[in-house]
Structure 1
Amino acid sequence: MATTTIFEKQEWDTLHKNGPFPLKRMYVTRLEGRASIPSSTDRYNDAAVEIQRIIKDCADQNEGFRAYGSRWSMSSIAHQKDNVHQNNLMNLDLNIFPQDLHALSSYNAGNLFFFECGNTIKEISQKLEEHGKSLKTTGASNGQTIAGCISTGVHGSALNVGSVQDYIVGLNIITGPSPADNVYLERHTKPGLTNAFAEKINAKVIRNDELFNAALVGLGSFGFIHGIVLEAEDLYLLKRYVRKINKNLAMKLSNTMDFKNSEFKIAGETDSQGNPLTPYHFKVFINPYTDDSEYVVEAMYKKPYQLPYPDPFTTIEKSIYKDLIYLLISISEKFPNSIPWFIKRLEKSVLPNVNEETIGTLYETFWDAAYQGPAFAMSIGVDHSDSEKALNILTKMTKKDGPIPGIFAMRFVKQSEATLAFTKFPITCMIEIDGIIWSGSNKLISMEEYSTRMLEVLKNNNIPFTIHWGKISDWAFPDLATHMFGNKVEQWKALRGSLLSKKMQQVFSNKFLDTLKLSDIQEDSDPDLIASLL
């Protein structure tokens, strides 16, 4: 049987040292070995029984329980003051065959894969490559677990793809301690697998678009996500260019996303009429303290997979434009270990010139995180048509109320169907501020004050916004969830309250949800809300 080790704790922290947070116990579950249980499906089901045993123990003690993956989130979303479960050792994958496809499924069985919750993006990418397949998109790196990615809405900058949750086909969620508390969710308008497949993992099938979309970005509160069915695609290459372009052009592209009629043209990246192609990925880097006439942009174009191609790592591993925090840390290393001194230098630093080109798979392009030390990251989502206005407001506030030891970037993501996805706009511009953790003083605004000011200035200027669930923010900002998502909040809570018993609603809550008023116990569940519609 799967075995669990319990560690008595006083505190727990994120990968980037954004805590510490109080904790009583940490659970780590190891799967039974193949020698004892040869079948991967049987090992998977055995692990489910063990997780349900832990849930029962926590519930019997009137304590909370929360799963976490790689501790990548900088907010406290993955924290629970009583009990947390580390998922990293739960990394099975189950085969899906053509006979496992639902009769009404429009999917290609060769593109569907079942992964246990603890598989990281890196592990999944390696397993998919063995089949000649790739993920459709990832975040900026590959260390997050798949369950953590979808629960918090991890995104890249894929203009026509969306976020990680947007290629998920099915969710296997453990909703309580009883054998019946094991469900397999899909959309009823786009079924994936047969009832027989769900029966193999001892799960009850519910095909219901609204329930699926609510649970998709479920913030860890719809139960224990045990398994995920995702849709991959054939391996492809990404041709990556990093260039400096005119600031006004960068802003026009951000506001319009009209690449075809723009002056942004890269040799070889045009259509048969010579018009610029829309890139797969587009990102803009901004130093808010300098009035640069040019911004650094990163554009990637999708190419058919073919061998050979040049080794991308020789360039990528040296690139300071791998991600925003690595760029900031690279700049900071040049200066003494003093936040005020660093900010003074940042105010005079122009982003380094660059003319990079690489080609590689998605897995190779978004490689291991270059920096995993203490850091902060804030990320605001706005409609791309508001991107320039929002950026100007935030940079103006940063210079007036700051300065802070951080710099900006913008990424652009296709709209998600998930109920509480922060990528809710037709094309969402994620305005990111990454940097070095700092403390406030009489000369320096605190990180907490700065987080609040960001939300205040956007609200005061009537710019609709969302916040990345896994990043730092003022999560206690008045009526924040409702301001961001309107009546979808009550819909989400009603669906959660209908799927989970009142006891399990308490077990799968935490302070993060309490702060956002998302954990209210729903006294009257509605079975019609969670009925299978196919």
Structure 2
Amino acid sequence: MPNGTSPSERSFFRPKTMETGRHESYEQAVEGEYVFRIDRGGQSPFDTYNEATKELQGIIRACLEDNKSSRAHGSLWSLSTVAVTNGRLIDNTALRLAFEVPSAIADPAYAGDTAKLRFVECGNSVAALNDYLFANGLSIKGCGSNNGQTIAGALSTGTHGGAYRFGAMQEMVVGLHLVTGPDRHVYLERKSAPVMLPAFAQSIGAEFIQDDTLFNAALVSLGSFGIIHGIMIETRNLFALNAVRFRHPYNDRLKAAIAACDPTMIPLPAEAEAIPRNNPYHFEIFFNPNEGTPPSDAIVLVMYEADYDPATYVAPAWNAGEPGLGASGLDIMGALVGRIPSPLNKLAVPLLNTQVNQEFSPYFKKAIIRDLFRGEKTLGRTLACGVGMPLARAIEAMEIAFKIYEDASVVLPLILSHRFVKGTKALLGFTRFETTAVLEMDAVNTPETRAFFNKVWEALDAAGIPFTLHWGKYSAFLTPDRVRDRYGDSTVDQWLASRERLLENVAVRQIFNNEFTARVGLAN
């Protein structure tokens, strides 16, 4: 049994030899993982939270004593190896507490509404957080295309969602509780945006730090800043979304809407044309390249904010075995695995297109975030890549992807899409452009798929299109030089220096390195 484990603790060590992740996109040899048991309410929630902090510190101490690398993980939703290591994993999915924040320990200078602040433990899935907030008449501000990720994992990799005037999921975070060594843990905020008084940090036994650079570095940390235990988030009142998915010709009008990032330029189908369009929320364009390169039609998904009325609201019906209404291309690929032949050839294209059309059927629904962005059902090996770029290069980039697919000699189950997201302050947030257009490439995981992704990256680079890659998705293109080229030497150096300041010592930094961060030049 590794050091630091005993039957009296809430956590235990479970030997295992291999981790594959939810989407079977990688295989990682491991020694095993520490797992937390579900809290059974034996003590007050805050005491339970603080005891978990001590256990997390004990796990770090054990890894140091045994000279083993460590990595905290949630739902293992990532398609890259960012969340794993060849040593010991820490499964935090049972750490699911959530707290209201007493206004008496909020900073009087806080610009928001303290009643809407929540302090949530790292293992809460987005789905669990949605349910908790719903019971309080509240909502998260932004969400990815589904709700299976843990909140800590989603923000650590920059999960972007599609709230294009709000930003990626990390934008709702205003405080972080980081376990940064066996004898150190910190509560971190921006100095320019104070939220809590020192008394809050004292209540969890943490060192209180207000520093913009440190916070912006830790916000998208790739799991390298220790263990995120607690997250202070800003929520909002429940609101509804009028969501419309429909086909529209891929013509100059649609291209103009993409170039302007303005969904109001696209006419809605007759059944939805009367909805108010003064408050757009989500804008996404899907393409099936097996219908043409480019196809004559795109699949458009737009959402407009609307009032939420609890007296009349009825959640739309959903079969939990199907992609949710806010499904991404990856959700669709997961649903198609097992229903289409492999390998594909041109004779199978009509069947593939029929299946895609069924999964992307038109709809007009009014729903809250909790009921729109729901868990995908992955049935096999899928792969996805998210390429962030300036809005002005979005159409050019998509046309490059079309051309590469046209020239390919294989038929791929593949969806290409654009999602649009407001830029982030996080130092290594991949949505770093003022308005980031995210070219999504979603497919079944095959050598041909990976070759296609690589050709697109190379062609975008050759065209001089500046781009970043989603840390939690396939990103084999990244090297230390390319990371520095895309984020800038100063930004990368600030991130690395912040990591040095926050982690307790050199030995702790070493155990929170992994092969992924070493490969991209972020393991100092």
- The alignment's TM-score, normalised by the length of structure 1, stands at 0.89
State the alpha-carbon separation in 2 of the partners of residues 288 and 263 from structure 1: 23
- 1:482 counterpart residue number: 484
Q: In 2, are the aligned partners of 1:448 and 1:473 still within 8 Å (CA)?
A: no
State the alpha-carbon separation in 1 of the partners of residues 337 and 33 from structure 2: 35
Matched, 1:250 2:250: no
Q: In structure 2, do the counterparts of structure 1 residues 305 and 110 end up closer, same or farther at CA, with 3 Å as the change threshold?
A: same
Matched, 1:436 2:444: yes
- 2:290 counterpart residue number: 289
Matched, 1:407 2:409: no
Matched, 1:198 2:197: no
- Secondary structure of the residue aligned to 1:417 is coil
Structure 2 letter corresponding to 1:430:
V
**Paired positions, count:** 505
Structure 1 letter corresponding to 2:434:
P
- 2:3 counterpart residue number: none
Q: In structure 2, do the counterparts of structure 1 residues 375 and 347 end up closer, same or farther at CA, with 3 Å as the change threshold?
A: closer
Q: Where does structure 2 lack aligned partners over 5 or more consecutive residues?
A: 1-7
Q: What's the CA shift for 1:388?
A: 0.4
- 2:65 counterpart residue number: 60
- 2:218 counterpart residue number: 215
1:96 equivalent among 92, 95, 101: 101
Alignment of 1:26-425 (within 5 A): 26-30=33-37, 33-35=40-42, 37=43, 39-178=44-183, 181-248=184-251, 249-259=253-263, 267-270=273-276, 277=278, 279-291=280-292, 292-306=295-309, 307-314=311-318, 322-329=327-334, 335-340=340-345, 344-345=349-350, 351=357, 354-371=361-378, 373-401=380-408, 403=410, 404-425=412-433
Q: In structure 2, do the counterparts of structure 1 residues 334 and 499 end up closer, same or farther at CA, with 3 Å as the change threshold?
A: closer
Deviations 1:196-244 (A, max 9, x none): 1110100111001111000000000011100000000000011111111
Q: What's the CA shift for 1:124?
A: 0.7
Deviations 1:270-312 (A, max 9, x none): 5xxxxx5452101111012333322110111111110313431
State the alpha-carbon separation in 2 of the partners of residues 368 and 348 from structure 1: 23
Q: In 2, are the aligned partners of 1:452 and 1:473 still within 8 Å (CA)?
A: no
Q: In 1, are the aligned partners of 2:263 and 2:283 still within 8 Å (CA)?
A: no
Structure 2 letter corresponding to 1:162:
G
**Alignment RMSD, CA only?**
2.3
Q: In 1, are the aligned partners of 2:93 and 2:124 still within 8 Å (CA)?
A: yes
- Secondary structure of the residue aligned to 1:289 is helix
Structure 1 letter corresponding to 2:470:
H
Q: In structure 2, do the counterparts of structure 1 residues 313 and 406 end up closer, same or farther at CA, with 3 Å as the change threshold?
A: same
Q: In structure 2, do the counterparts of structure 1 residues 2 and 478 end up closer, same or farther at CA, with 3 Å as the change threshold?
A: closer
Q: In structure 2, do the counterparts of structure 1 residues 331 and 505 end up closer, same or farther at CA, with 3 Å as the change threshold?
A: closer
Q: What's the CA shift for 1:476?
A: 4.7
Q: What's the CA shift for 1:159?
A: 1.3
Structure 1 letter corresponding to 2:163:
A
Structure 1 letter corresponding to 2:451:
E
Structure 2 letter corresponding to 1:135:
I
Q: What's the CA shift for 1:251?
A: 2.1
Q: In 2, are the aligned partners of 1:289 and 1:399 still within 8 Å (CA)?
A: no
Q: In structure 2, do the counterparts of structure 1 residues 171 and 419 end up closer, same or farther at CA, with 3 Å as the change threshold?
A: same
Q: What's the CA shift for 1:504?
A: 1.3
State the alpha-carbon separation in 1 of the partners of residues 409 and 278 from structure 2: 39
State the alpha-carbon separation in 1 of the partners of residues 319 and 59 from structure 2: 46
Q: What's the CA shift for 1:407?
A: 1.6
- Secondary structure of the residue aligned to 2:289 is coil
Q: What's the CA shift for 1:343?
A: 6.3
Q: In 1, are the aligned partners of 2:334 and 2:377 still within 8 Å (CA)?
A: no
- Secondary structure of the residue aligned to 1:506 is helix
Q: What's the CA shift for 1:341?
A: 5.8
Q: What's the CA shift for 1:345?
A: 4.2
Q: What's the CA shift for 1:405?
A: 2.7
- Secondary structure of the residue aligned to 1:339 is coil
Percentage of matched positions with identical amino acids = 31
